[in-house]
Structure formats: structure tokens, C-alpha cells
Amino acid sequence: MQEYGHGAGSAMPYDYRYQVTKDGKRVGSVEAEYHGRAVWSIEHPDFVDPGEPRTIERLDQALYAAGFEIMPDD
């Protein structure tokens, strides 16, 4: 499992929550600011970390390039 960002107990609020899927199976979750920093936990061997800065935009690009989907987590 790869986890990045500030982690649990962080003082930084994340207003947006997403789920990450691959081939219809949920493989991770993301918490993010609007057009800003993000933390994620993604458990799949095809996931390649996008590196710094850890933003939702960079993560989004990396996920789509590897065939993942990201959508709001209701």
C-alpha cells in the first residue's frame, strides 16, 4: 500500500473525497483540497506515484494514464 500526504490527524482540512477504481474494483481513496494538496492511499501494482508536488491534478493525470478512474466518494 502506498500512502502519501499528511495522514490521519492532520490539521489540514480536506473538503473533497474520491474513490479510485481499476477494472471496476475499488483500489484506493483520495482526500483533497479544491485544486490543491491531496493525500491518497492506493493499493494496486499499476499505480505509479506522480511525485511532488502532491496535488490532485498531478495524481489525476497519473491515474488516467495508467487506466484508473477517480470519482467522488459518496
Model confidence at 74, pLDDT cuts 50, 70, 90, reads confident
Residues 44-65: tens digit of each pLDDT: 999 999 989 999 999 999 999 9
Question: For 19, how many CA atoms within 13 A lie in the half-sphere containing its CB?
Answer: 9
At residue 2, the pLDDT reads 46
| Domain layout of the chain by residue ranges | 2-72
Question: For residue 8, what pLDDT is reported?
Answer: 44
| DSSP for the chain, written as a single string | -EEESS-TT-SS---EEEEEEETTEEEEEEEE-TTSBEEEEE--TT-----SS-BHHHHHHHHHHTT-EEEE--
Cell of 41: 492511499
Task: Please give the pLDDT value at position 7.
Answer: 45
- 8 A C-beta contact, residue 71 and residue 29: no
pLDDT confidence of residue 12: 59
pLDDT at 5 over 90: no
Biggest CA–CA distance in the chain, Å, is 34
